[in-house]
Amino acid sequence: MKKGRFSGAVINKMQLKLPALSANEGMARAAVAAFCAQLDPAAVEIADIKCAVSEAVTNCIVHAYKNRDGWIYITASLLEGRIAKIEIKDRGCGIEDVKEARQPLFTTDAASERSGMGFTVMESFTDAIRVTSKPGRGTNVIMYKAFGERGDL
């Protein structure tokens, strides 16, 4: 991630706390997309946000809490320059090796039908992503999406 590219002043912000239930993945996706809509992005840009948020939230539900109760904390900020900053964090089991976890096809659950492409998908639908994690304390994913000018699309 290029330092400073996504450092504009916050012009609006929302926070959401949801139980880590698969039923809430759609709610999280829709809420963040609706919030970002105030920048009047193109439909494809909103679709990108929805996909990235879905992957991050699904990671919390499936991996962070591993079938136990927990919370997903979502903060979306709109920054100067038509940039969305989306932070999704949990207080779950954390990730031992973030660099390894970000490799395509890596999974901690080989017995499942999971593809190990969550972080790769998030990266492909955003302009920058930062992942920090502490084993036993949780994971924090921050994604940035720069929206084009409406006349540029």
Question: Which pLDDT score is estimated for 49?
Answer: 96
12 catalytic per annotation: no
In the set 25, 29, 45, 55, the catalytic residue is 55
Question: Which pLDDT score is estimated for 153?
Answer: 45
Question: Which pLDDT score is estimated for 7?
Answer: 78
In the set 24, 87, 114, 140, the catalytic residue is 114
Model pLDDT for residues 56-82, shown as the tens digit of each residue = 999 899 888 887 899 999 999 999 999
Question: Which pLDDT score is estimated for 96?
Answer: 80
In the set 25, 45, 59, 91, the catalytic residue is 59
**C-alpha gyration radius of the chain:** 15
Domains of the chain and CATH, by start: 10-147 (3.30.565.10)
The residue ranges of the chain whose pLDDT is under 70 are 1-4, 98, 101-117, 150-153
How far does Cα 121 stand from its chain's mean position?
A: 10
Q: Taking the C-alpha atoms of 44, 46, 51 and 54 in order, what is their torsion angle to the nearest 10 degrees? A: -170
Question: What one-character DSSP code corresponds to residue 111?
Answer: T
Return left, alpha or beta for 138; rule: phi > 0 is left, psi -120 to 50 is alpha, else beta: left
59 catalytic per annotation: yes
Question: Which pLDDT score is estimated for 108?
Answer: 58
